[in-house]
């Protein structure tokens, strides 16, 4: 009797599926999908391959160029840089090629907010940091914009302050690439677009130093 029972268990054990065995149905499904994909014409397969390669490259670009931790307005572009454009009234303009720093009829907070709106609504960029300097008399803005197609991340810096001896807001701007050795005119075109936007904007007409941090016109949400 004992032998009989042992024999019975052995038979059941042999019939049970082993954990190392592959699922025939799963393998056949994968093989069928592979054959189906390989059977597609090249006009379908190559665009998919191209998109996949592009997506991987864009992801690597983002990983290679993290946002820098900048807490105040840069004083200048890096010396000899081909990746930076600065427009300023203090003699530090760099590769500006005719661009002039905007003077706007609004508060320093309003000017900063409009720059933020331009970046996010017109360019699809994003706000990274903003703070105040000199007891709130100067406002700093740091945002990120991306180039078309390859989505290279570039930095936009802006400083808004009262013009010397006047009531208008003076805007200092700097656009700078994080990667590469040349920007192919991208930074200049970006600042040119922003300056045109600021010059055409319908400002409040308030004095530059009329700054209420609780007024929505001066805030960045």
Alpha carbons 112 and 17: distance in angstroms, whole number? 69
pLDDT of 52: 80
Sign of the C-alpha dihedral computed for residues 188, 92, 170 and 174 taken in this order: positive
Tell me the whole-structure pTM to 2 decimals: 0.76
Tokens of 138: 């100067």
pLDDT of 38: 67
Identify the CA nearest to 90 among candidates 29, 174, 25: 174
Confidence class for position 205, pLDDT limits 50, 70, 90:
very high
- Give the model confidence (pLDDT) of 111-138 as tens digits: 999 999 999 999 999 999 999 887 778 9
Confidence class for position 217, pLDDT limits 50, 70, 90:
low
Confidence class for position 210, pLDDT limits 50, 70, 90:
confident
> Which phi and psi (to 5°) does residue 136 adopt?
85, 5
- Which one of 3.40.50, 3.40.1000, 2.60.120, 3.30.310 gives the CATH number of domain 71-218? 3.30.310
What residues form DSSP beta bridges with 175?
85, 156
Sorted by where each begins, the domain ranges of the chain are 23-64, 71-218
Identify the CA nearest to 154 among candidates 177, 174, 173: 177
- Give the model confidence (pLDDT) of 142-177 as tens digits: 999 997 766 689 999 999 999 999 999 999 999 999
Alpha carbons 108 and 164: distance in angstroms, whole number? 13
User: 152 and 167 in contact (C-beta within 8 Å)?
Assistant: no
């Amino acid at each position: 009797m004992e032998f009989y029972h042992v024999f019975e268990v052995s038979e059941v054990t042999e019939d049970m599926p082993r954990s190392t065995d592959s699922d025939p149905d799963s393998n056949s499904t994968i093989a069928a999908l592979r054959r189906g994909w390989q059977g597609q014409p090249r006009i379908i397969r190559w665009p998919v391959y191209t998109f996949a390669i592009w997506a991987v490259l864009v992801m690597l670009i983002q990983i290679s160029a993290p946002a820098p931790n900048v807490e105040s307005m840069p004083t200048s572009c890096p010396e000899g840089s081909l990746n930076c454009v600065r427009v300023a009234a203090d003699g530090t303009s760099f590769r500006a090629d005719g661009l002039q720093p905007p003077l706007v009829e609004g508060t320093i907070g309003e000017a900063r907010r409009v720059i933020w709106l331009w970046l996010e609504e017109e360019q699809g960029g994003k706000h990274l940091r903003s703070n105040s300097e000199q007891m709130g008399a100067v406002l700093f803005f740091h945002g990120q914009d991306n180039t078309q197609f390859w989505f290279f991340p570039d930095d936009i810096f802006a400083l808004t302050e009262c013009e010397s001896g006047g009531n208008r807001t003076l805007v200092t701007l700097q656009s700078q690439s994080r990667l590469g050795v040349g920007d192919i005119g991208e930074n200049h075109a970006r600042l040119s677009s922003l300056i045109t936007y600021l010059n055409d904007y319908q400002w409040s007409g308030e004095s530059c130093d009329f700054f209420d941090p609780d007024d929505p016109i001066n805030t960045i949400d």
